[in-house]
Amino acid sequence: MHPESATSSDFAQIRALLQLCGLPHDDLTPDAVRDFLVLRPADGAQGLVGCVGVERASSAGLLRSLAVAPAHRGSGHGDALLLALQAHAAAAGIQELFLLTTTAAAFFAMRGYRLRPRTDVPEAIRLTAEFASVCPDSATCMFRELALPTRSSISA
């Protein structure tokens, strides 16, 4: 299984997975799906194994909605989705990824994300719905700088 770009037909399944995982989904729009990656079952079964998205804001991005279905956890799918999203974001010119989490700070810290005060985040990120109103003020704010792809890695 490899993460792939979501399509508009994935919208309902992404929302259902986010709801199942207890993640914000009310602010998700069909247009936002274009910046999501999904992981589908290897056996072609219905539903999604996982998903992750990014909201772009110039050279920064808000990582959102990293979710893996409970039956598929512990198999590296979260790592696969996160790595694919970081590569996708870097290729799109995003230099820093920010995120808010109430449950997964340790997961992200082990993958190079560092704490950042919410007040020390680019304004375009602070103005996103997730940052401004969806996630609670108690959510942990983290960030990671992304390595931009080199010319040789783009042509490879």
What are the sequence ranges of the domains in the chain?
A: 4-155
By the 8 A CB rule, do 134 and 102 touch? no
Q: Considering the domain 4-155 in this protein, what is its CATH number?
A: 3.40.630.30
Q: Write out pLDDT tens, residues 38-60.
A: 999 988 788 899 999 999 998 99
Gyration radius (Cα) of the chain, Å: 15
pTM greater than 0.95 (yes/no): no
CA 6 to each of CA 30, 54, 85, 141: distance values in angstroms, whole numbers, following the listed order: 11, 12, 12, 26
What does the DSSP 8-state code read for residue 150?
P
Q: Write out pLDDT tens, residues 89-145.
A: 999 999 999 999 999 999 999 999 999 999 999 999 999 888 888 888 899 999 999
DSSP line for 38-88: EE--TT--SS-SEEEEEEEETTEEEEEEEEE-GGGTTSSHHHHHHHHHHHH
